Amino acid sequence: MPKKAKLPTQTATINDQTLNRGAGGELHQMASGAVPVMTTAQGGPVGDDQNSLKIGARGPTILEDFHFREKIFHFDHERIPERVVHARGYGAHGYFETYKSLAKYTRADVFQRAGEKTPAFVRFSTVAGNKGSFDLARDVRGFAVKIYTQEGNWDLVGNNIPVFFIQDAIRFPDMVHAVKQEPDRGFPQAQSAHDNFWDFISLTPESMHMIMWVMSDRAIPRSFRFMEGFGVHTFRFVNAKDESTFVKFHWKPKLGLQSVAWNEAVKINGADPDFHRRDLWDSIKSGAFPEWELQVQLFDQAFADSFDFDILDPTKIIPEEVLPPISVGRLVLNRMPDNFFAETEQVAFMTQNVPPGIDFSNDPLLQGRNFSYLDTQLKRLGGPNFTHLPINAPKCPFAHFQQDGHMAMRNPVGRANYQPNSWGDGPRESPERGFRSFADMESGQKMRIRAESFADHYSQARQFFISQTKPEQNHIAAALTFELSKVQTPVIRARVVSHLLNIDEGLAANVASGLGLKDMPSPADAAMPTRQDLAASPALSILNKGPGRFEGRKLGILLTDGFEPALVKALQKALAFEKATFEVITPAVGGAEAADGSIVLGNQMIGGGPSVLYDAVVILPSDTGGVDLAKDSTARDFVADAFAHCKFIGYNNAALPLFEKAGIVGEFDEGVILLSGPNDIPAFIKNLGKLRLWSREPNVKMK
């Protein structure tokens, strides 16, 4: 029999005010220090609340697990009508185009014909916040894709991070409860920087890999268009011969990866809480359609058996250097919904929606999601007929005997509403075309257990950290320090640092120093020691995968009356060639009058167009305008923030008084570039492809 993996000791203390219900429903005060036995809602004692019931240590989750069923069922029905998680979302229509046939690996119709375009709908979202929260929360981003294939809808319901906090779906309600608003006070909103979340994390070592990702810049993307998507779990491809190949799915943005600085994110949320929504809307409406490549990691059972970690563990990745992904298609978003509620709000994604040729692995988190999502949609959309809504309906022919129910919009026609029947009416199953599960062999005792192969919680967390560039490592340390500074319980802060010691001692020391810990805790007990032999994976770094171009980005151009029009026209022409956009910021939104008397309309006034909304800025006032801007606090913030956020700044000599008042004095670095005339534009635009000058960061202090 497999042994249980060693888990951290978890203790609970109950104070004198703890109450317990008696058999008749009456409340009894418990004795000080007594710990109640956890029960189901029916009162049955629970023996294991950490592991769902499986066949063997690595087998599938069993439907008879009534405790998991009840727990996830109640969790799925906690909110009406907005989603419990991923409530704040934004979506767009498009298509998926297949590059080449994958018939060797899968009989899924969508992968059979090169060049075929299949309709798709994508919804991006934050996880923790409510519908009215802001876009730039530090959070995981949902990346859910519905592809309307000729053999039914395929929902690849993923995130912009390839791992997750937990290994077993039975823990999902606890994880979400912990990160959401604390129930007694109803805050904080869309934030993980509070005691409940970090208490849960500090008692859940399996979360530490995910914590490295969430505390990295991956959790504050510059745009939906500049972030990756992942299927998270290991799935199966199954071909026409019923042969199986394991597969992991990756969405790679054509425009490259990009994130923002934390200080910048905070200010963007104040200036434009709909920043990501507006960016996607503007991009698609302007015809600059976002694209991602679908890449897959394909491997067989022999690779799975030889890999360092369990491929069923959703807290682990297969590094791209170990198993390079191959491109199999592209996703293009080219149309916004006609109505936000009818489409983006009512779209229903379910991991169990797969066409024939795509199948599941025994990943216990995936197994639980497959079970949970139908309950969620039933509760949120009011009944079993949510597939009648146009956004959820398949675009291929479909037929079944499902009938009636709340808001039924179509029912079977004719006498027969069942099968088999003697009337020859209605659809029949097709063993040839229908979905067939891969006939994997399963055996073992029914048990609540975590496989020993799931027990290494720190090695890949360390690998992620050492794969980051120095600026990115600094950002992770700063994020951890900030989040834990909001935790009011000192023992929780120390407990998190004890886990960090198992990841990287330098990181732990940095965070401990930032928190003012007087005594460094001992490293947390580890079920398995952290491996030191895992090589850095450059693919895990955003900065190592920078686009090297300014395409798809936005330049802010600050002008005043009397500006030189030739320089501005040359700049705008170069941006159009680069497939980048710009906005003009002026003291008043009406615009500015050039030295030749022409008028340039303003997109933003200075107070409404801070530099945090742009990827780089240019300041081109007249001599008089530069002096006036130096007196304006919002103009000073415009320049100071751009400099502090390590952005490239173009300027003319008339802007120097503003720079001085903004505190930017002395010799400028290579990211602050003088634009004396149109001939200086090409070199400036080329520099913009670097996106940020992170070498500046140690020399500035963000306010």
Q: Which residues are designated catalytic?
A: 86, 159
Cα separation values, 594 from 583, 599, 623, Å: 16, 6, 13
Q: SS in 3 state form for 477-515?
A: HHHHHHHHHCCCCHHHHHHHHHHHCCCCHHHHHHHHHHH
Of 452, 550, 390, residue with least CA distance to 3: 452
Residue 267, phi-psi category: left (phi > 0), alpha (psi -120 to 50), beta (remainder)? alpha
Nearest residue to 552 (alpha-carbon basis) of 177, 256, 168, 190: 256
- Please check whether residue 199 is in contact with residue 451, taking contact to mean a CB–CB distance below 8 angstroms: no
Q: How far apart are the first and last CA of the chain?
A: 58
Question: For 212, phi and psi rounded to 5 degrees?
Answer: -60, -40
Distance CA 501, CA 489 (A): 19
The strand pair at 229-230 and 244-253 is best described as antiparallel
Residue 323, SS3 per DSSP: coil
Counts for the chain of helices (H) and strands (E), in that order: 18, 22
Cβ contact 253:216 at 8 Å: no
| Cβ atoms 108, 348 nearer than 8 A | no
For residues 459 and 308, give the distance between their C-alpha atoms in angstroms, rounded to a whole number.
Answer: 10
Q: Name the strand (E) or helix (H) holding 575.
A: helix 565-577
Kind and range of the H or E run holding 380: helix 364-381
**Cis peptide bond N-terminal to 397, omega within 30:** no
Q: Are 340 and 296 spatial neighbours (Cβ–Cβ below 8 Å)?
A: no
Q: Report the largest interatomic distance among the alpha carbons of the chain, rounded to a whole angstrom.
A: 91
527: left (phi over 0), alpha (psi -120 to 50) or beta: alpha
605 contacts 638 by C-beta, under 8 angstroms: no
Q: Which helix (H) or strand (E) holds 67?
A: helix 66-76
Token duo for residue 56: 């063997």
Residues listed for the chain:
703
Output the six-digit token pair for 427. Answer: 């659809």
Q: Using CA of residue 603, residue 668, residue 574, residue 272, what is the dihedral sign?
A: negative
CB 73 within 8 A of CB 375: yes
Question: Cis before residue 81, ω within 30 degrees of 0?
Answer: yes
Asked if 146 contacts 103 with a C-beta cutoff of 8 angstroms, the reply is: no
Sequence-ordered list of residues with C-beta below 8 angstroms from that of 634, at least 6 positions apart, any chain: 606, 607, 610
**Pair of tokens at residue 589:** 């939104």
Pairing of strands 326-335, 291-299: antiparallel
The amino acid occupying position 109 is D
Q: How far apart are CA 412 and CA 690, in angstroms?
A: 59
Q: Tokens 């920043």 label which residue? A: 275
